[in-house]
Structure 1
């Protein structure tokens, strides 16, 4: 059954406060939620479209809505037939993101599938994201590690750091290299960052060999509008001669 975004949001806001409170996750008060105003501030992300391979029609679309401070409040997902598939709601404490709740929508019912908890260090930087599922023990989704200059240098996806992504920067603090590890001592793949004349990230290059001795090609490409907003991202598969795998386009209010 197709459900309009407006009606879906109203239903979600009412039912969202009725979910059980697992792992001390804060319940959102029904009155507060039902009275929540949604805003569409200018020049912020409105829609995200996902395209598989080289298809012209999107496989799914995300719609974004904000609070009066410009912080994302709800993300609503639709499939290729414009049927609502689910939503993510975001909860802040002192203007800092603390929780998000992932709902699926099926057979006219909303189901809380999972939720994430955001933890910060003493300097206010995101340090860990915990993944929760109703009735289950929380797990670390990823952990951020920062260098002495404050740059993000590693993201751990396993407790021992075997599965991780590392980042390197130039003397100006601009990220220039990304290495992805999949449980081995050597990285599985290495990306080199390329920027345009406006210092916007233009591409991530790789040769799909470690060390990167062969000619590098674009594994990711990024396009921007005149305001500097990202309007398209394309991903290519190095293991399949850099054929187009998927792309995303973005619209703004």
Structure 2
């Protein structure tokens, strides 16, 4: 009888603990950002003909590292970017837009053991009639500087900065004249520099497609640090990064596919 009695008292104790009105019921918080992401993923995703479908990154330059797939909304705006590595989804980027159509913020979500987890936002702020775009990174009210884009009065990009105002990589873009829309030179500087570390020359073909960004490195001649290839429709299908210190050797490669 003793084992049965012991089980009975354990049952009563457990029942009393479960029905104790003084013990608070745990509250399960629902992340509305995850609900929003799942609604988008389960909704209608557009794949407009001619839009970028995927970007693959190779190192070596032939070893695939990861792929990014692109999906769009009903207006043809980029809605989702999905990062894939070894055939597994690693991250999702979800774009949200302002009423005027400008990009507002991009939420980054990583895939954990129990599903997607919100990581952070890339939040955009527009100044000077949209000629300065500051991008902050963070979440829950805590943000820090991440990127800055600057455009001129004609909407041409004139600089891109990655980092803060004091610790950054800076790219400056130059045009032949006030009417030209083709970049002819790009200067790359790091924080503290007064002179560019690199000066890239932009080379175009007879169809005005950029086929190389070239440098004078370890010699007087220009050699391609980056090379670009296109399909018959003029879509970029390959970008090659070269090492110029030991000849002209490809080290990285990106390929692009379209819907």
Once the two structures are TM-superposed, the CA of residue 120 in structure 1 deviates from its matched residue by: 1.9
Matching residue of 1:36: 43
> How many residue pairs were aligned?
225
CA change 1:126–1:66 in 2 (3 A) is farther
1:98 matched to 2:104? The reply is yes
CA change 1:117–1:204 in 2 (3 A) is same
Matching residue of 1:70: 76
SS at match of 1:239: coil
1:177 pairs, out of 180, 185, 193, with 185
Q: 1:208 and 1:202 mapped to 2: Cα distance?
A: 18
CA change 1:30–1:102 in 2 (3 A) is closer
CA change 1:241–1:139 in 2 (3 A) is farther
Once the two structures are TM-superposed, the CA of residue 46 in structure 1 deviates from its matched residue by: 0.7
2:214 pairs, out of 189, 205, 210, with 205
Maintained 8 Å contact 1:118/1:126: no
1:251 matched to 2:257? The reply is yes
Maintained 8 Å contact 1:156/1:163: yes
Q: 1:16 and 1:247 mapped to 2: Cα distance?
A: 38
TM-score by length of 1: 0.79
Matching residue of 2:58: 51
CA change 1:135–1:196 in 2 (3 A) is same
Once the two structures are TM-superposed, the CA of residue 137 in structure 1 deviates from its matched residue by: 2.9
TM-score by length of 2: 0.77
1:222 matched to 2:231? The reply is no
Q: 1:245 and 1:64 mapped to 2: Cα distance?
A: 25
Maintained 8 Å contact 2:132/2:150: no
1:234 pairs, out of 236, 240, 249, with 240
Q: Give the gaps of 5 or more residues in structure 1.
A: 1-14, 20-27
Matching residue of 2:142: 137
Q: 2:82 and 2:37 mapped to 1: Cα distance?
A: 19
Deviations 1:210-250 (A, max 9, x none): xxx72110000111112111111111123343321110111
Q: 1:76 and 1:31 mapped to 2: Cα distance?
A: 13
The residue correspondences of 1:180-191 to structure 2 (distance < 5 A) are 180-183=188-191, 184-191=193-200
Maintained 8 Å contact 2:132/2:151: no
Q: Give the gaps of 5 or more residues in structure 2.
A: 1-29
What is the Cα-based RMSD across aligned positions, in Å?
A: 2.5
Once the two structures are TM-superposed, the CA of residue 107 in structure 1 deviates from its matched residue by: 2.5
Deviations 1:108-162 (A, max 9, x none): 4322222101122353445211111x35731221222334554322223331587
CA change 1:30–1:154 in 2 (3 A) is closer
1:17 pairs, out of 32, 45, 49, with 32
Maintained 8 Å contact 2:58/2:64: yes
Q: 1:18 and 1:174 mapped to 2: Cα distance?
A: 40
